[in-house]
Amino acid sequence: MSERSFRFSHAITREPAPSISRGLRAVDTGTPDLSVMLANHRDYIAALRSTGAEVITLAPQDAYPDSVFVEDTALCLPEGAIIMRPGAPSRLGEAAEIAPMLRVLYSEVHEITAPGHIEGGDILVTEREILVGLSERTNRAGVEQLTALTAPWGYSVRIVETPPGVLHFKTDCSLLDAETILSTRRLAASGCFHDYRVIHTAEGEDAAANTIRFNDLVLMPAGFPRTRDALVKAGYDLREIGNSECAKLDGGMSCLSLRFTPR
Ligand code: GLY
């Protein structure tokens, strides 16, 4: 079976900028500490690199406080890249900033246009389909454009719902392998993963749901011991990465990179 949804030759990250203190957040739980975030970011990049992947780290962009969350700016598939159109007004300009790098790496690059909005955090690519969660940041017009752009490459897009009050669809779930999803119980209860194997985050550990499977590793946020133990028991090779500062901005493991293998 193909493993294109979790085997990657490349990743793109962007270093956090001092303006991260003004990053968007649903609830204010304190100002992120840039030095701690930078240290965690270095650990994250080291874990990606340890799998043999090439990791491109873009310069910090102080004009965009949330620009460390580079996943929201694009969807990168083997066949081509699609520049997103973020639904948060303060993040709209981030998409244009990522485009030049993707045009170097890909011969085929498309863009989501108005009135469409879509952020990468709402997109879960599995071996058999692309799930997109409607959210405050992602609307039907955006998903319809994504569907039309990826159909010629052989993908089918399925629209799902992001739980109310949750930033992105992948805030609550992540791909662990070709058949297995890690999900909060509140998201899995919607039935959206009915034909996958589901491992639930432990009670009280919903914030552990946003992991990434990257080649042979699963990167997960540190501090969720019961979910970690369940994943170890299931046979995954885990790396725990500090996420305390990104969590203050509703960010997690997937938000911090674009992961791909350009053809
Ligand atoms: N702070 C991440 C976001 O709201 O997009």
Q: Residue 132 sits in a domain of what CATH number?
A: 3.75.10.10
Decide if 183 contacts 171 (C-beta within 8 A): no
Ligand 1: does its nearest atom lie under 6 Å from the Cβ of 250?
yes
Atom number, ligand 1, closest to the C-alpha of residue 24: 1
- 116 secondary structure, DSSP code: -
Range of the domain at 45: 10-260
Ligand 1: does its nearest atom lie under 6 Å from the Cβ of 66?
yes
Ligand 1: does its nearest atom lie under 6 Å from the Cβ of 119?
no
Q: Which positions are catalytic?
A: 168, 255
Residue with tokens 């914030």: 207
Please give the distance, rounded to the nearest whole angstrom, from the Cα atom of residue 250 to the centre of ligand 1. Answer: 6
Ligand 1: does its nearest atom lie under 6 Å from the Cβ of 55?
no
The confidence score (pLDDT) of residue 1 equals 75
The confidence score (pLDDT) of residue 263 equals 86
Ligand 1: does its nearest atom lie under 6 Å from the Cβ of 58?
no
Please give the distance, rounded to the nearest whole angstrom, from the Cα atom of residue 195 to the centre of ligand 1. Answer: 30
Contacts of 152 (CB under 8 A, 6+ apart): none
Question: Would residue 23 count as lying in a domain?
Answer: yes
Please give the distance, rounded to the nearest whole angstrom, from the Cα atom of residue 255 to the centre of ligand 1. Answer: 9
Contacts of 219 (CB under 8 A, 6+ apart): 44, 47, 48, 211, 212, 238, 239, 241, 253
Q: Whose CA is nearest to atom 4 of ligand 1?
A: 24
The confidence score (pLDDT) of residue 69 equals 98
Decide if 44 contacts 215 (C-beta within 8 A): no
Question: Would residue 3 count as lying in a domain?
Answer: no
Ligand 1: does its nearest atom lie under 6 Å from the Cβ of 120?
no
Question: Would residue 2 count as lying in a domain?
Answer: no
Query: Where are the strands (E) in 6-66, listed by range?
Result: 10-14, 54-58
Q: In what order do the strands lie in the sheet with 80-83?
A: 74-77, 80-83, 109-111
Mean pLDDT by 10 residues, the chain (263 residues): 94 98 97 98 98 98 98 97 98 97 97 98 98 98 98 98 95 98 97 97 98 98 98 98 98 98 91
Question: Would residue 45 count as lying in a domain?
Answer: yes
The confidence score (pLDDT) of residue 150 equals 98
Please give the distance, rounded to the nearest whole angstrom, from the Cα atom of residue 65 to the centre of ligand 1. Answer: 9
Atom number, ligand 1, closest to the C-alpha of residue 167: 4
Question: Would residue 1 count as lying in a domain?
Answer: no
Q: In what order do the strands lie in the sheet with 54-58?
A: 54-58, 10-14, 258-260
Decide if 173 contacts 184 (C-beta within 8 A): yes
Structurally, the chain folds into a number of domains equal to 1
